[in-house]
Structure 1
Amino acid sequence: MTSTTPASAGHHTEGPATIGGVPGAPSSARAERLVRRVVGGRDSAPVQMHAPFTGQPIATLPQATDADVRAVFDQAREAQRSWAERPVEDRQRILIRLHDLVLKRQEEALDLVQIEAGKARMDAFDEVSATALVAAYYGKHSAKFLSPRGAAGLIPVLTKVGEIRHPKGVVGIISPWNYPLALTAMDVLPALAAGNAVVQKPDNQTALSALWLQEVAEEAGLPAGVWQIVLGRGSKIGDALVEESDYLCFTGSTPTGKGLAAKVAERLTSYSLELGGKNPMIVLPDADIAKTATGAVTACFSSAGQLCVSVERIYVHESIREEFTRAFVAKTAAVRLGGALDYQAQMGSLTSEDQLATVSAHVEDARSKGATVLTGGKARPDLGPLFYEPTVLTDVTEDVKLFAEETFGPVVSIYGYTDVTEAIERANDTRFGLNASVWSRNGRAGWEVAARLKAGTVNVNEGFAATFGTVGLPMGGMKESGVGRRNGAEGLLKYTEAQAIAVQRGMPLRPGRGIPPKLWARVLSTSLKALRRLPRR
């Protein structure tokens, strides 16, 4: 396992304090400026967050109270009225300007994402590019998605009908720590484009990234107050977020998502949830070994495996299992670890002590029950407090925790199979269904296998980036991996209420005075038969 220079507390030089004590990071004054954007929380005990690379403080964050959150929603409702009245083309222009600013100021975003989440810089760039793609997509297509839609009326010519879309109102968004920039953009920007106001609660650990994007959005022309950010523990402000939201969007664990769904159901409002995954990869017998092994490293270890759609199970045909495993292990062992703000490292650190504890516990449990660690399998405190080596296991049995439970770290298990149907059944044998990957030299064969997998997104000859980066495709989970979709038209329309309007002219839809009901029914039946023969609209 190779590594770059450790990002430890002792390596920075004297001078202005940097965010998280990371060498080359912006001054802590930048963090303090972003923190001032947080709404509420002045009367609640603040919390201090720490940089995964160094363990040093990033920022002290104000925490909102229940009353703070409810007051913010009141303010957001006021701001939403005028925002919704603006032409959708105006809202699109703001998103296009945001796209340009994100790319222009990307170095700021890259630094923040690395410092807060512990990512390698290339993984942080994935977030910048995803944010730009989302801004451009909804900057181009929102007017089309929101435009009134015509349909065939009950009686041709005499019944004129249409469907229009209204914003929900104020959308509550609870964002995770693992993709703080990209997932903020994917959820917040379409909600704004649809004419809603947003109250977002990002995770404390990566709040600065969300605050940075909010700042840039206002620089692009977003009115102040339309997008507001509050911070706090779900146990303290979760009820207020659920009870005040006209629509709730949540990304996080399956147990938490189920609890939120139950609370939202009591109010009969809507929600979308992206939850956990135990994502499989199937390697077909004709797969290109070298390309598949390289792709598997990215699929499994991007963002240190702390990605909802990353692969944690690999099923390889027995005819190539040994060769693939040898190539994959060699490439995994060569992954460069490090915590500098540059593109040298291929993998950064885990983000929290909780994640390090989970990863360590899963690997040790597997070891104790007979699993073989082919590479990795240990923490790297010499590099920083939360580094853990990318780890490949085999001989994993069903009694091992990581066999079915999500690890959410740089750990993957390899299994053999002899029949493709068997591999598909084993890949589907999980309560999750978020993402999957198939590898084959034959694109058609890969597509056919993909269509049999029970997952919201499936990538052929890719791990996750092809669907993740194609903003026009819906993204979300089946089974216990979630409800609803982000991206595409659905990612915007879910934040709207559909309204049907019909204008009836001339002929009434009930028998008029002097017309016997039986005669009316006979005439209408004849008309219905004739209408069935007309071309569909």
Structure 2
Amino acid sequence: MTNRLIERVSHAGGRPIPDAATGEIIGHTREDSAAALEAMISRGVAAQRSWAALSPHARGMTLHAAAAKVAEYAEELADAVSREQGKPLNGPGARLEVEACQRWLHTNADLELAPEVLVDDAENYSELIYRPVGLVGAIGPWNWPLMIMIWQIAPALKIGNAVIVKPSEYTPLSVQALVSVLNEVLPDGVLQVVVGGPEVGAALPAHPAFGKIMFTGSTRTGKAIIKASAQNVTRLTLELGGNDAGIVLPGTDVRKHAENLFWGAFINTGQTCAALKRLYVHESQYDETVAALAEIANATPMGRGVDEESLLGPLQNRMQFAVVERLVEDAKARGRRIVTGGDPAPELGPNFFRATIVADAEDGDPLVDEEQFGPVLPVIRYADLEDAIARANRLDAALGASVWSDDAQRAREVALRLEAGTVWINKHGGIHPLVPFGGIKGSGYGLEFGFEGLKATGVPVVITSR
């Protein structure tokens, strides 16, 4: 199909953007200069004043209209992200991503932050309110380029900010397409997109005009943002890298949970920050679990994202492909057992790597200790639950974790001891627009989603009288 949104934002003479699955050029992106960013900042600062002057209800109605526009263009947005990012249209893929954009817009549109009364007695009346920070810089990743950008855009707009988004240089066209759709209903200048490489992204946290920077991506880049923003004491929300652990408790009906275990790890072909990336299984059920996961991996169709039957797609770029290949080759060299997969699938395209289950992995293996961010799951055997909990908690990455058991009370007891921003029971990676989400330790700080996420895009102010 001809994608009119890609055609709308494609820039003749700009940098070519390939289809992640085939390498064919799907469009060309502009590359913005420092002067272009300064002009956007000026427009955003001016537009923010009148946007903030509207009532929260009026801003919410505009966000509902924006969600309706996303629905109107849903198939073209899904096609754009499927081609550019590589994720399949179906399953937990591109269509789901576009649906999530609508859901987060609608949810944030309806959130209202009423003044919070802190003290009300004869001597003191104090209340907490939230004001917009002014201009928000939103820096997004390439794995869920539309959905994660909406996570940042929706609350920032609802509270009365203007937003300048900076997409990954790997997935700029789909984000420009999304912004163009939203801007069919938003006031001019309230939402803009700046496009370019790392130097453009670095300019946002260093600029004093931004009251808030929101970033989803690697811990290394997150640390650079902290350093760049320090001079301006800019407020930050950072959702950084994850290396999520899961623990299967003894006595669990593994076959019942196998499908959820698999998709907890392989959603978006493993390219998800809060995916299951290392699985600890009790020795009494180890072989059964490995066999069940391998069976699903072998039965799950992999192919080009726009092919309706595909449920797994390619790695988005050659850089990430090289990371996955290196980690799997290292596992082979260490004598780890490749149960299924373990090599590229060049017959499908240049960036495809087969869904891979690695058994007999050990803590200390690069495949276990590093975030693979691809279609590979190492499965680690344990004998003692205390040891498994300690091993799950030993890394600095602490975005998510999961416990798998048919004993709800026992699962909760273990969940309370895992060090992660979110701990799931009998699922992994599921999110809700009203449930706060964020990392701890090296996986960042600050919360997104719901009332906590809305507050994070504002400035808290205490008003005291009497």
Instruction: Please give the TM-score of this superposition, normalised by the length of structure 1.
Output: 0.83
Please tell me whether residue 63 in structure 1 is matched to residue 31 in structure 2.
Answer: yes
Deviations 1:277-313 (A, max 9, x none): 1111111112221122211221111111000011111
Segments of 5+ residues of structure 1 without an aligned counterpart are: 1-24, 37-41, 505-537
Displacement of 1:398: 4.2
**SS state at 1:200 partner:** strand
Which residue is equivalent to 1:419? 384
Distance 2:409 2:130 in 1: 38
The answer to which of 427-436 and 101-110 deviates more is 101-110
Distance 1:426 1:278 in 2: 12
Deviations 1:140-199 (A, max 9, x none): 11x2x2x2222325xx33533322221000000110010011101111110000100001
**SS state at 1:395 partner:** strand
What one-letter code is carried by the residue in structure 2 that aligns with 1:224? D
2:361 and 2:368 in contact (8 A); partners too? yes
Distance 2:384 2:7 in 1: 57
What one-letter code is carried by the residue in structure 1 that aligns with 2:2? P
Please tell me whether residue 128 in structure 1 is matched to residue 90 in structure 2.
Answer: no
What one-letter code is carried by the residue in structure 2 that aligns with 1:188? I
Please tell me whether residue 137 in structure 1 is matched to residue 101 in structure 2.
Answer: no
**Residues 213-232 of structure 1 correspond to what in structure 2 (within 5 A)?**
213-219=178-184, 221-232=185-196
Distance 1:336 1:173 in 2: 34
Segments of 5+ residues of structure 2 without an aligned counterpart are: none
Which residue is equivalent to 1:12? none
Deviations 1:37-87 (A, max 9, x none): xxxxx9xx8321111111011221111122221221111000000000000
Which residue is equivalent to 1:108? 76
**Correspondence for 1:53 among 4, 11, 21:** 21
2:280 and 2:381 in contact (8 A); partners too? yes
- CA RMSD after TM alignment: 1.7
1:69 and 1:237 in contact (8 A); partners too? no
**SS state at 2:288 partner:** helix
Deviations 1:328-348 (A, max 9, x none): 111112211111524311101
**Residues 44-443 of structure 1 correspond to what in structure 2 (within 5 A)?**
46-121=14-89, 122=91, 123-141=93-111, 143=112, 145=113, 147-153=114-120, 156-219=121-184, 221-243=185-207, 244-443=209-408
1:242 and 1:248 in contact (8 A); partners too? no
**Correspondence for 2:447 among 485, 494, 515:** 485
The verdict on how the C-alpha distance between 1:87 and 1:443 changes in structure 2, with shifts beyond 3 A counting, is same
The verdict on how the C-alpha distance between 1:340 and 1:490 changes in structure 2, with shifts beyond 3 A counting, is closer
1:281 and 1:311 in contact (8 A); partners too? yes
Instruction: Please give the TM-score of this superposition, normalised by the length of structure 2.
Output: 0.95
Displacement of 1:104: 4.0
2:338 and 2:357 in contact (8 A); partners too? yes
1:66 and 1:240 in contact (8 A); partners too? no
Distance 1:449 1:181 in 2: 34
1:54 and 1:385 in contact (8 A); partners too? yes
Displacement of 1:323: 1.3
**SS state at 2:397 partner:** coil
Distance 1:237 1:213 in 2: 19
Distance 1:128 1:420 in 2: 40
Please tell me whether residue 26 in structure 1 is matched to residue 26 in structure 2.
Answer: no
CA radius of gyration, larger in: 1
The verdict on how the C-alpha distance between 1:196 and 1:455 changes in structure 2, with shifts beyond 3 A counting, is same
What one-letter code is carried by the residue in structure 2 that aligns with 1:191? A
Displacement of 1:449: 1.4
1:70 and 1:240 in contact (8 A); partners too? no
Runs of 4+ in 1 over 6 A off after TM superposition: none
Q: How many residue pairs align between the two structures?
A: 463
Distance 2:204 2:79 in 1: 33
**SS state at 2:463 partner:** strand
Which residue is equivalent to 1:9? none
Distance 2:85 2:305 in 1: 13
Distance 1:134 1:298 in 2: 22
Displacement of 1:444: 2.3
Distance 1:447 1:366 in 2: 33
The answer to which of 492-501 and 73-82 deviates more is 492-501
**Residues 5-24 of structure 1 correspond to what in structure 2 (within 5 A)?**
none
Displacement of 1:438: 1.4
The verdict on how the C-alpha distance between 1:261 and 1:95 changes in structure 2, with shifts beyond 3 A counting, is same
Percent of pairs identical after alignment? 35
Distance 2:403 2:54 in 1: 45
Distance 1:148 1:257 in 2: 32
Displacement of 1:240: 4.3
2:66 and 2:186 in contact (8 A); partners too? no
Distance 1:78 1:101 in 2: 25
What one-letter code is carried by the residue in structure 2 that aligns with 1:79? A
Distance 2:274 2:369 in 1: 15
What one-letter code is carried by the residue in structure 1 that aligns with 2:423? V
2:359 and 2:379 in contact (8 A); partners too? yes
The verdict on how the C-alpha distance between 1:251 and 1:298 changes in structure 2, with shifts beyond 3 A counting, is same
Distance 1:411 1:102 in 2: 33
Which residue is equivalent to 1:21? none
What one-letter code is carried by the residue in structure 1 that aligns with 2:186? L
The answer to which of 73-82 and 446-455 deviates more is 446-455
The answer to which of 450-459 and 418-427 deviates more is 418-427
Distance 1:418 1:365 in 2: 25
